[in-house]
Amino acid sequence: MRKEKLRFILNNKMFIIGSILFFAVVLVVIFAPLIAPHTYAEQSSMRLAAPCSEYPFGTDQYGRCIFSRVIYGSRIALSVGIVAVIIETLIGVTLGIVAGYYGKAIDKIVLFITDTTWSIPPIILAMAIVLMMGSSAQNVAIAIAVVSWAQFTKIVRAKVQSLKNLSYIEAAKIYGETDLSIILRYILPNLVSTIIILATLALPSAILSTTSMGFLGLGAQQPQPDWGMILSDGIQFIKNAPWITMAPGLAIVWTVLGFNLLGEGVKEMLDPRLKV
């Protein structure tokens, strides 16, 4: 069995490439101060300098090293993304279990709330929430979580509905086990693989949303090196200094692609028929 799993992993090229991209990002996050030649806020007199040995991706209008800013930026992108996914998993899974397990009116209410959140473009609702709470990395994480838990709820709810009718869960009910104990002991363990898949696939879109918010100026503020912000600052110099937009763009694609491939691989391994 273990051997088969191993063979499966080795045959799953997407998973392997995804993992490599992913571990590279993790290394960058951990060793950012060692990799980056400068700090993210350090300004020099060389403004809008082209890529050279000192500044591998050039400098911005304040003479800051783009490469170093992008390296440090991975910390913001990843931490905001991960915090957002943790929060949305908690909200989404809890509501999904409650709706699926109790059904009836509770289910209807949860379903109505999810339908409503689907009716506002997530990024726009997130913008409104950040506007309400103030621009900061934490608030972006919260806003992204608030607008994207519905996916978890829908899938978990459907899964719980089918689990609920399994005979051993019905038997547990007849034995008089409490709902909480049934949920924790029988239902939750059966949801683990689904939750892992959903969370790994939610991370890349959370990171994309984070950078989109940063691009619109909502999120970490200067001189924090937010990828989206570096890119949007670079657009005004697109004719004279196109390199400013290259490094953050590549970084985003690298990270998001890595997580997407990893997520696809995990899904392929745990539950290929799950429709996400």
Query: Helix 243-270 and helix 66-102: axis angle, to 10°?
Result: 30
Q: Find the binder of another protein among 25, 32, 93, 129 (CB under 8 A).
A: 129
CB 129 within 8 A of CB 142: yes
Query: Helix 66-102 and helix 188-215: axis angle, to 10°?
Result: 140
Q: Find the binder of another protein among 25, 93, 127, 141 (CB under 8 A).
A: 127
Q: From CA 193, how far away is CA 199, in angstroms rounded? A: 10
Longest dimension (CA), the chain: 76
The residues pairing with 43 across neighbouring beta strands, listed in sequence order, are: 64
CB 228 within 8 A of CB 244: no
Please identify, using beta-carbon distances, which residue of 91 and 123 lies nearer to another protein: 123
The residues near 103 (Cβ < 8 Å, ≥ 6 apart) are 161
Contact between 6 and another protein per CB under 8 A: no
Q: Find the binder of another protein among 208, 220, 241, 262 (CB under 8 A).
A: 208
Q: Find the binder of another protein among 6, 128, 171, 184 (CB under 8 A).
A: 128
For residue 1, give the 3-state DSSP assignment: coil
Closest contact distance (angstroms) between CB of 174 and another protein is: 29
Q: From CA 193, how far away is CA 204, in angstroms rounded? A: 18
Stretch near another protein under the rule CB under 8 A, chosen from 22-30, 45-53, 194-202, 231-239: 231-239
Closest contact distance (angstroms) between CB of 234 and another protein is: 8
Contact between 16 and another protein per CB under 8 A: no
- Burial letters for 172-181: b for 16+ Cβ neighbours within 10 Å, e otherwise? beeeeeeeee
For residue 223, give the 3-state DSSP assignment: coil
Q: From CA 96, how far away is CA 80, in angstroms rounded? A: 24
Closest contact distance (angstroms) between CB of 239 and another protein is: 6
Stretch near another protein under the rule CB under 8 A, chosen from 24-32, 42-50, 54-62, 204-212: 204-212
Q: Find the binder of another protein among 142, 155, 163, 256 (CB under 8 A).
A: 256
CB 276 within 8 A of CB 148: no
x-marked contacts with another protein along 93-112 as a string, rule CB under 8 A? -------------------x
For residue 65, give the 3-state DSSP assignment: strand
Closest contact distance (angstroms) between CB of 271 and another protein is: 14
Contact between 216 and another protein per CB under 8 A: yes
x-marked contacts with another protein along 130-169 as a string, rule CB under 8 A? -xx-x-----------------------------------
CB 207 within 8 A of CB 255: yes
Task: Using CB under 8 A, list all residues that contact another protein.
Answer: 14, 112, 115-116, 118-125, 127-129, 131-132, 134, 204, 208, 211-212, 215-218, 228, 231-232, 234-235, 238-239, 242, 245, 248-249, 252-253, 256-257, 260-261, 264, 275
